[in-house]
Structure 1
Amino acid sequence: MRFIGLKTCDTCRKALKALEAAGYDVQVTDVRADGLTDAEIEQIVEKFPAKAINKASTTWRGLSDAEKESDPKGLLRAHPTLMKRPVLIGDEWTIGWDKATQAKWLGA
């Protein structure tokens, strides 16, 4: 399983710990340390058009109104930590760590 997140994110740490405890072999990509390729950004925005950007983040609040209106792909290229986290890639793709995502990967 591929895990795209942020090592300093509490939600990512909880998700990673739970996935490893469930027996997943997790390959982690840290968006700050490792960055995202253009192809990864394209796929994330294509699969999660309304959810790709975390509009509750400190980074988002620091953007100008003009920046907030710009293309999500460009925003993620300039500010990879704006990505809603984590993105999990296995037999399918999920974003975030809500109850539905946890049920999908960890079972009921």
Structure 2
Amino acid sequence: MVTIYGIKNCDTVRKALKWFDAKGVENKLHDFRTDGIDAKTIEGWLDEVGGTVLINKRGPSYRNLTDADKATLEQGGAAAAAILAANPTVIKRPVVDFGTTRTVAYDEKRWAELAGL
């Protein structure tokens, strides 16, 4: 089972859900807004993929952060994970969890490879 983390009304997340459904890959959506997300999970993602990949600096959620929070995000670690947990829309979407590997953003080629398609 693949877990797709994001927001249900995000176009890219909806596109990812449709892609996995069309390929017959069992999946579930974990919506940041309704299901929440804990800092420990985010810290693991930061360790695995890095802040450069995980943090969406182009969106309004990032622009609305304080300069101090933005500086903390640059440093990474538990403090950055806590900021992202409190502001999950700053996380680039979707984060797709294959169990042992995670991908960030829309990537059909990588998903097909990881799903064994």
TM bucket, shorter chain: 0.7 to 0.9
Q: Tell me the residue number matched to 2:41.
A: 40
Q: Tell me the residue number matched to 2:77.
A: none
1:103 and 2:109 matched = yes
Select the residue among 64, 89, 97 that pairs with 1:89: 97
With structure 2 as the length reference, what TM-score do the two structures score?
A: 0.80
With structure 1 as the length reference, what TM-score do the two structures score?
A: 0.86
Alpha carbons 1:4, 1:29 under 8 Å: kept:
yes
Runs of 4+ residues deviating >3 angstroms: none
The one-letter code matched in structure 2 to 1:93 is R
1:26-61 residue CA offsets vs partner (Å, 9 max, x unmatched) = 021001111112321121111121211111111011
| Identity of matched residues, % | 34
Q: Tell me the residue number matched to 1:3.
A: 4
Which segments of 5 or more consecutive residues in structure 1 lack a partner in the other structure?
none
Which segments of 5 or more consecutive residues in structure 2 lack a partner in the other structure?
74-79
Instruction: Quote the RMSD (CA, aligned, Å).
Output: 1.7
Query: Matched residues in 1 for 2:40 and 2:70: separation?
Result: 22
1:79 and 2:87 matched = yes
Query: Matched residues in 2 for 1:23 and 1:51: separation?
Result: 27
Identify the structure with the greater helix proportion.
2
